[in-house]
Structure 1
Amino acid sequence: MKNSIKFKNLHLGLSSLTVIGVGFTYGICPNRILPFFFDFEVNSIDLNNVFRAIMGLYLGLAFYWLIGIFKPEYWRNATLICIIFMGGLAFGRIISIILDGIPSLPFSIGTILEILLMFWGIRNLKKDIYFERNQE
């Protein structure tokens, strides 16, 4: 059972670290960092504001997922929110691939990671529910 707990917490931990990293990339200094990674310029206060708001959203979600690791009573909700978040990002990217074509390598890797993290979360949630039902 201990390995199972570590494995299911690993999902939230890796999701948190990934989203924290991406959040900081988007929001620390968008007008300097984002042109380095992506093919666009951030050249207005409003765009800086949008990317810093995205950073805040990402950091807030990652913080909740970390709470789910350390407070077991929040684990299911944190996992469900992680599944919805990763699935929502993947869904949007898939729509973009269909409508716009294949994106650059960083965005393609992001799509794959989001799909993997979504399915890993679904697997963990199903296992947790199955385990709980069989304990009764």
Structure 2
Amino acid sequence: MVIMAGLVYGLNPSYVMPLTLNIEVEALALKHIFRAIMGIYMGLGIFWLLGAFRPTLWKSATLSNVLFMGGIASGRFISLGLDGFHLNFFIAMILELIFMIWGFYNLKVYNSSFGLK
């Protein structure tokens, strides 16, 4: 999901952002920002996929996922209070909180199963 979101943000932000978020992306700096976001999302998404299949990376991938999801949800929560309610972003915040909690749960339950400390 994160890799797909990254592609949505960065492949062609001048075309996609007006359609999906009603944001016009004409400034070169804004295009760079969206493509940098794409790079972050793609890099982390690939790391999380590797962590799902390589036990040596599992703990660090899960922890980075927890921090990422918690960080985004925190930012959305702040925006909810300062900027107002938007249903799509509220739903995203709830999903991010669920993924964060699920990650904490997995760290607690599966840590000993992989022999991780």
Do the two structures share a fold, i.e. TM-score over 0.5?
A: yes
Counterpart selection for 2:105 from 123, 126, 131: 123
- Residue 9 of structure 2 is matched in structure 1 by 26
Give deviations 1:40-96, integer Å, cap 9, x for gaps.
211111111110010000000001001101111100000000000000000000011
Aligned length: 115
| Distance change >3 Å, CA 57–CA 77, structure 1 → 2 | same
1:34-49 matches, within 5 Å, as 34-49=17-32
**Structure 1 CA distance for aligned equivalents of residues 54 and 66 of structure 2:** 18
1:132 deviates by: 6.0
Residues 1:71 and 1:98: Cα distance change in structure 2 (over 3 Å):
same
Instruction: Go from structure 1 to structure 2 and tell me whether the alpha carbon gap of 1:54 and 1:132 turns closer, same or farther (over 3 Å shift).
Output: closer
Letter in 2 for 1:99: L
4+ residue runs over 2 A deviation:
129-133
Tell me, in whole angstroms, the C-alpha distance in 2 between the residues paired with 1:132 and 1:68.
12
Deviation at 1:131, TM superposition (A): 4.3
In the TM superposition, 1:62-77 aligns within 5 A as 62-77=45-60
Structure 1: any 5+ residue segments left out of the alignment? 1-17
Deviation at 1:112, TM superposition (A): 1.2
Percent identity of equivalent pairs = 45
Describe how 1:95-114 pairs up with structure 2 within 5 A: 95-103=78-86, 105-114=87-96
**Where does structure 2 lack aligned partners over 5 or more consecutive residues?**
none
Partners of 1:61 and 1:131 in 2: CA distance: 24
**Alpha-carbon distance between aligned partners in 1 of 2:24 and 2:47, rounded to the nearest angstrom:** 31
TM-score by length of 1: 0.80
Letter in 1 for 2:51: G
The Cα RMSD (Å) is 1.4
SS where residue 111 of structure 2 aligns? helix
